[in-house]
Amino acid sequence: MKIGVIVGSLRKESFSRKIAENLAKLLPAGFEAEFIDIGNLPLYNEEYDDNNPPEYTAFRNKIKGLEAVLIVTPEYNRSYPAALKNALDIGSRPYGQNLWSGKPTLLVSQSIGAIGGFGANQHLRQVLAFLNMPVLLQPEVYIGNSSSLFDANGKLTNQDTAGFLQTIIDSFIDFIKKHKA
């Protein structure tokens, strides 16, 4: 079962990417993570609906092949990054052709501050609800102080966080199975 991993931060060494990579390693047999790049997507423009840029076509084809979605995002100014919103818009347009619809989703937000991207998480939930993306409700995932969680190689060093990430993945896999049943 293919799970698309979308990282809201475009920075190669972002904490969101490191969290996503650590989560992907925890997927059990039978589940495959596919990281989907969103940094190359031109800004959504309705004029493209009749003549898609090749980046849109490739991106949409990847979304079509997914069984579920894992989104890991930082918080920017109490919300989520524009690149992530752009990707969600491209996958849901033109109107009536929402490729996200029905895909079970795990939403993880993080920040270097203590509240773990709460604002980004809550704003994003509103958009995901409109896109008909069932989101794992519990446990909610806000990872704070993310800059202190990794070694120089991106390996998670905090064992409490490692245990929490395993709990998250286990819950997400159960959610996917129930939703697909």
Please give the Cα distance from 73 to 76 (Å, whole number).
9
pTM tops 0.85: yes
CATH number of 2-180: 3.40.50.300, 3.30.390.50, 3.40.50.360, 1.10.1060.10? 3.40.50.360
What pLDDT does residue 27 have?
Answer: 98
Sign of the four-CA dihedral 111, 117, 120, 124: positive
- Domain coordinates in residue numbering, the chain: 2-180
What pLDDT does residue 50 have?
Answer: 86
Q: Is the pLDDT of residue 65 over 90?
A: yes
Tell me the backbone φ, ψ of residue 88, rounded to 5 degrees. Answer: -65, -40
Name the CA radius of gyration of the chain, rounded.
Answer: 16
In one-letter notation, the amino acid at residue 110 is Q
Q: Which two tokens stand for residue 89?
A: 């818009």
CB count within 10 Å of CB 156 equals 17
Are the CB atoms for 111 and 75 separated by under 8 Å? yes
What pLDDT does residue 122 have?
Answer: 96
64 pLDDT band, cuts 50/70/90, is very high
